[in-house]
Structure 1
Amino acid sequence: MQIINARLRHSNDLHTLTIKEGKFHSIETQAEALPEQNDQINAHGNLVCAPFVEPHIHLDAALTAGEPEWNQSGTLFEGIERWRQRKPMLNEADIRKRALSTIELLVQNGVQAIRTHADTTDPSLIGIRTLCALRDELKDKIDLQVVAFPQDGMLSYPNGLALMEESLQIGADVVGGIPHFEYTRELGEKSVKTLLELARKYDCLVDVHCDEIDDPNSRFLEFLACEALFHDMGPRVTASHTTAMHSYDNAYCSKLFRLLKNSKINFISCPTESIHLQGRFDTYPKRRGVTRVKELREANINVCLGQDSIFDPWYSLGNGKLLRTLDYAMHICQMMGYQDYARALDMITDNSAKTMCLEGYGIEVGNPANFIILEGFDDYSVLRKQGEVLLSVRKGEIIVERQPAKILSQPWVSNSL
Structure 2
Amino acid sequence: MNIINARLRGKPGLFRVELNGERIAAIVPQTDVVASATANDLDAGQNLVVAPFVEPHIHLDATLTAGEPKWNMSGTLFEGIERWSERKEITTHDDIKTRAKKTIDMLVDHGIQHVRTHVDVTDPKLTALKAMVEVRDEVRELIDLQIVAFPQEGIESYANGRALMTEAVAIGADVVGGIPHFENTRDQGVSSVKFLMDLADRTGCLVDVHCDETDDPQSRFLEVLAEEARVRGMGPRVTASHTVAMGSYDNAYCYKLFRLLKLSGINFVSCPTESIHLQGRFDNYPKRRGVTRVAEIDRAGMNVCFGQDSIVDPWYPLGNGNILRILEAGLHICHMLGYEDLQRCLDLITDNSARTLNLGERYGIEVGRPANLLLLSAPDDYEMVRSQGHALVSIRNGKVLMQRTPAQVQRLR
Q: TM-score, structure 1 length as denominator?
A: 0.97
Question: In the alignment, which residue of structure 2 is the partner of 1:85?
Answer: 86
Letter in 2 for 1:343: R
Rate the CA distance shift 1:37–1:195 in 2: closer, same or farther, 3 A. same
Question: What is the aligned partner in structure 1 of residue 347 from structure 2?
Answer: 346
1:11, distance to aligned residue in structure 2 (A): 2.4
Alpha-carbon distance in structure 2 between the residues aligned to 1:408 and 1:45:
24
Q: Which residue of 2 aligns with 1:28?
A: 28
Is 1:375 aligned to residue 377 of structure 2? yes
1:3 counterpart SS class: strand
Q: CA deviation at 1:362?
A: 0.3
1:414 corresponds to which residue? none
Check if 1:144 corresponds to 2:145. Answer: yes
Task: Tell me the CA shift for residue 140 of structure 1.
Answer: 3.6
Deviation string, structure 1 residues 49-84 (Cα, Å, up to 9, x no partner): 110000000000000000000000000000000001
Report the equivalent of 2:70: 69
Gaps of 5+ in 2: none
Alignment equivalent of 2:408, drawn from 394, 406, 409: 406
Q: Secondary structure at the match of 1:189?
A: helix
Q: Which amino acid aligns with 2:235?
A: G
Instruction: Confirm or deny that 1:252 pairs with 2:258.
Output: no
**Larger CA deviation: 54-63 vs 30-39:** 30-39
CA distance in 2, matches of 1:133, 1:205: 20
Cα distance in 2, alignment partners of residues 267 and 326 from structure 1: 15
Retained in 2: the 8 A contact 1:180–1:188? yes
Deviates more, 1:383-392 or 1:240-249: 383-392
- Preserved contact between residue 23 and residue 368 of structure 1 (Cα < 8 Å): yes
Distance in structure 2 (CA, Å) of the matches to 1:163 and 1:11: 48
Aligned 1:166-181 pairs, distance under 5 A = 166-181=167-182
Other structure's SS at 1:215 match: coil
Equivalent position of 1:237 in the other structure: 238
Deviation at 1:410, TM superposition (A): 4.6
The aligned residue for residue 99 of structure 2 is: 98
Mapped partners of 1:384, 1:216: distance in 2: 35
Matched with 1:282 is 283
1:351-386 Cα distance to aligned partner (Å, 9 max, x none): 110000113200000001100111100000001111
Counterpart residue identity of residue 162, structure 1: A
How far residue 138 of structure 1 moved from its aligned partner, in angstroms, is 2.2
Secondary structure at the counterpart of residue 227 of structure 2? helix
Q: Is the 8 A contact 2:108 2:142 kept in 1?
A: no
Range with greater deviation from structure 2 (137-146 or 102-111):
137-146
Q: Distance in 1 between matches of 2:264 and 2:412?
A: 56
Amino acid aligned to 1:231: R
Give the distance between the partners of 1:382 and 1:410, measured in 2 at CA.
Answer: 27
Residue pair 1:222, 1:259 contacting (<8 A) in 2 also: yes
Whole-Å separation in 2 of the counterparts to 1:388 and 1:139: 23
In the alignment, what sits opposite 2:226? 225
SS of 1:248's equivalent in the other structure is coil
Distance of 2:277 and 2:170 partners within structure 1: 35
**Cα offsets for 1:70-114 (capped at 9, x unmatched):** 000000000000001000111111001100000000000000000
In 1, Cα distance between equivalents of 2:309 and 2:318: 11
In structure 1, the partner of 2:42 is 41
Q: For 1:302 and 1:195, how far apart are their aligned partners in 2?
A: 22
Does structure 2 retain, via aligned residues, the 8 Å contact 1:207–1:239? Answer: yes
What is the 5 A alignment of 1:42-61? 42-61=43-62
Deviates more, 1:138-147 or 1:348-357: 138-147
Residue 329 of structure 1 is matched in structure 2 by 330
Partner of 2:202: 201
Give the drift of 1:159.
1.0
Q: Which residue of 2 aligns with 1:302?
A: 303
1:152-204, CA deviations, whole angstroms, 9 ceiling, x for partnerless residues?
Answer: 00110111111111111101000000000000000000000000000012110
**Identity across aligned pairs (percent)?**
60
Query: Is the aligned partner of 1:315 residue 2:312?
Result: no
**Range with greater deviation from structure 2 (398-407 or 226-235):** 398-407
Alpha-carbon distance in structure 1 between the residues aligned to 2:54 and 2:35? 32
**Deviates further, 148-157 or 400-409:** 400-409
SS of equivalent residue, structure 1 residue 146: strand
Question: For the Cα contact (< 8 Å) 2:206–2:238, is it kept in 1?
Answer: yes
Q: Is the 8 A contact 1:241 1:269 kept in 2?
A: yes
Write out aligned runs for 1:388-407 (5 A): 388-407=390-409
Aligned partner of 1:363: which letter? I
Aligned to 1:17: 17
- For residues 405 and 40 of structure 1, what CA distance do their matches in structure 2 show? 23
Structure 1 residue aligned with 2:356? 355
Q: Is the 8 A contact 1:244 1:291 kept in 2?
A: yes
1:12 positional shift: 3.0
Assess if the C-alpha contact under 8 Å between 1:296 and 1:302 holds in 2. yes
TM-score, length-scaled by structure 2: 0.98
RMSD: 0.8
Tell me the SS of whatever aligns to 1:89.
coil
Correspondence for 2:268: 267
Structure-1 residue corresponding to 2:367: 365
Task: Give the Cα–Cα distance (whole angstroms) in 1 for the partners of residues 373 and 357 of structure 2.
Answer: 17
SS of 1:330's partner is helix
Which one-letter code corresponds to 1:185 in the other structure?
Answer: R
Q: Is the 8 A contact 1:53 1:348 kept in 2?
A: yes
Please tell me whether the aligned partners of residues 10 and 378 of structure 1 are also in contact (alpha carbons under 8 angstroms).
no
Inter-partner Cα distance in structure 1 for 2:22 and 2:170: 33
Give the conservation status (yes or no) of the 8 Å contact 2:217–2:246.
yes
Structure-2 separation of matches of 1:319 and 1:138: 19
